């Protein structure tokens, strides 16, 4: 389980997270949703240790990411996680195979044969093994996202985080990525967090939904309860309406 307690983060006078409290249930996927600029990606960066909080705590199991004293301690905790970044964040000069293998070469002391076997297995699972020798610039963004998922999975993490997994994708490819996330979670049983603003598409890959607005958790509920909420902020966001408490623009 991931436990977030009284988490706050500001950039100058801009308060991005304002006392966030949230539990991410083990072995299930939680979607963190909300309008653009409400702190979703900032929260993910704090969970992964890429950004320091101003105050509050993030517990990954029994380990505190926010209490880690240095980069090494944060990296040790982060070794339990795999991350799919918005644009996949592949290294342009490395083949798709070497991109997927990167966490194993960076974190683990493994024999080359094991690195090759594990990387090939993950690439096959996401349908990208036949393209393994290509460079990222030689394949589509959807294919790069698939390799990003393989890279996130290759070290067998307990926790997977997906930052806007469908950014830049057309609806058909986006649906394929969501289906792939759902299939791999069901098969591997990892704890998942999906950062998204896509409603209702993201509901198909999560059991719970937490909505951020103005730096706070407006609702944290099962999908059906979220959909039936009478909270005007939730209703406006879910329906995509201009009029309401969420100020557009």
| Structure confidence at residue 2 as a pLDDT band (50, 70, 90) | very high
Task: Decide if pLDDT at 109 tops 90.
Answer: no
Q: Which two tokens stand for residue 188?
A: 């591997």
Residues 61-100: tens digit of each pLDDT = 999 999 999 989 998 999 899 999 887 889 999 999 999 9
Sheet holding 2-11, edge to edge: 14-24, 2-11, 55-60, 63-64
Distance, in Å, from the CA atom of 205 to the CA atom of 193, rounded to the nearest integer, reads 10
Task: Decide if pLDDT at 193 tops 80.
Answer: yes
Closest alpha carbon to 4 in 241, 234, 215, 223: 215
Task: Decide if pLDDT at 108 tops 80.
Answer: no
For the entire predicted model, the pTM comes to: 0.91
Predicted pLDDT at 38: 87
| Structure confidence at residue 249 as a pLDDT band (50, 70, 90) | low
Residues 231-248: tens digit of each pLDDT = 999 999 998 888 889 886
| Structure confidence at residue 191 as a pLDDT band (50, 70, 90) | very high
Residues 122-149: tens digit of each pLDDT = 999 999 999 999 999 999 999 999 999 9
- How many CB atoms within 10 Å of residue 104? 21
Q: Which regions of the chain does DSSP assign to beta strands (E)?
A: 2-11, 14-24, 29-33, 55-60, 63-64, 81-84, 159-163, 191-196, 208-213, 216-222
Average pLDDT of every residue of the chain: 92
| Structure confidence at residue 201 as a pLDDT band (50, 70, 90) | confident
**Using alpha carbons only, what angle is made at residue 198 by residues 152 and 20, rounded to the nearest 5 degrees?**
75
Q: Which two tokens stand for residue 140?
A: 């589509």
Q: Are 138 and 166 in contact (CB under 8 A)?
A: no
Task: Decide if pLDDT at 107 tops 80.
Answer: no
Q: Among all chains, which residue has been given the structure tokens 């759902």? A: 182
DSSP 39: S
């Amino acid at each position: 389980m991931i436990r977030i307690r009284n988490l706050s983060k500001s950039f100058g006078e801009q308060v991005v997270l304002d006392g966030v409290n949230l539990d991410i249930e083990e072995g299930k996927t939680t979607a963190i949703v909300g309008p653009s600029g409400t702190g979703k990606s900032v929260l993910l960066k704090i969970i992964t240790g890429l950004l320091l909080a101003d105050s509050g705590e993030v517990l990954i199991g029994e380990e505190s990411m926010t209490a880690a004293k240095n980069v090494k301690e944060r990296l040790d905790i982060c070794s339990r996680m795999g991350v799919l970044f918005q644009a996949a964040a592949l290294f342009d000069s490395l083949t798709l195979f070497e991109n997927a293998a990167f966490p194993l070469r960076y974190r683990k002391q493994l024999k080359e044969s094991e690195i090759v076997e594990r990387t090939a297995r993950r690439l096959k699972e996401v349908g990208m093994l036949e393209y393994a020798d290509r460079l990222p610039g030689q394949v589509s963004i959807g294919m790069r996202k698939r390799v990003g998922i393989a890279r996130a999975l290759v070290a067998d993490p307990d926790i997977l985080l997906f930052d806007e997994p469908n950014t830049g994708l057309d609806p058909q490819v986006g649906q394929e990525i969501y289906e792939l996330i759902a299939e791999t979670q069901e098969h591997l049983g990892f704890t998942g967090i999906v950062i998204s603003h896509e409603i209702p598409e993201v509901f198909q890959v999560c059991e719970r939904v937490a909505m951020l607005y103005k730096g706070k958790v407006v609702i944290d509920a099962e999908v059906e309860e979220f959909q039936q909420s009478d909270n005007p902020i939730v209703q406006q966001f879910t329906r995509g309406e201009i009029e309401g408490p969420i100020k557009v623009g």
